[in-house]
Amino acid sequence: MAEQPTISTHLLDALSGQPATGIPVRLTNLDGNVPVGQAITDGDGRIRRLLEGPLKVGRYRLTFSLNGAFFEEVAITFVVDDASRSWHVPLLLAPYSLTTYRGS
């Protein structure tokens, strides 16, 4: 049986070039403001399956609890317009900058 589509993430420390491990991440479905998953990044800086339950079309927010010297928390809001495929939202971190993109 094929795995159901999900939402995943990957955090990289751009300064060190290493994965950002041990970072708590929450996933919220904003259509109803319902928490739908939470986990901590693994040794590779990944959370391979963050969504607890079936993926639905809608607006979602990933919240990363960084507790860094400058960025304490980062929230990324995005739209899932196709629930038949998985969505990957990476975050690249540096002490005073960050970037994200729609991964594959």
92 located within any domain:
yes
| Number of folded domains that form the chain | 1
Say what the pTM is.
0.92
34 located within any domain:
yes
Q: Which domain holds residue 21?
A: 7-100
68 located within any domain:
yes
Per residue in 44-100, pLDDT (tens digit) is 999 999 999 999 999 999 999 998 889 999 999 999 999 999 999 999 999 899 999
Specify the DSSP class assigned to residue 95.
Answer: T
| CATH number of the domain where residue 44 is located | 2.60.40.180
77 located within any domain:
yes
Q: Any residues with CB less than 8 A from the CB of 25 and at least 6 apart, and which?
A: 9, 38, 39, 40, 41, 47, 50, 62, 63, 64, 65
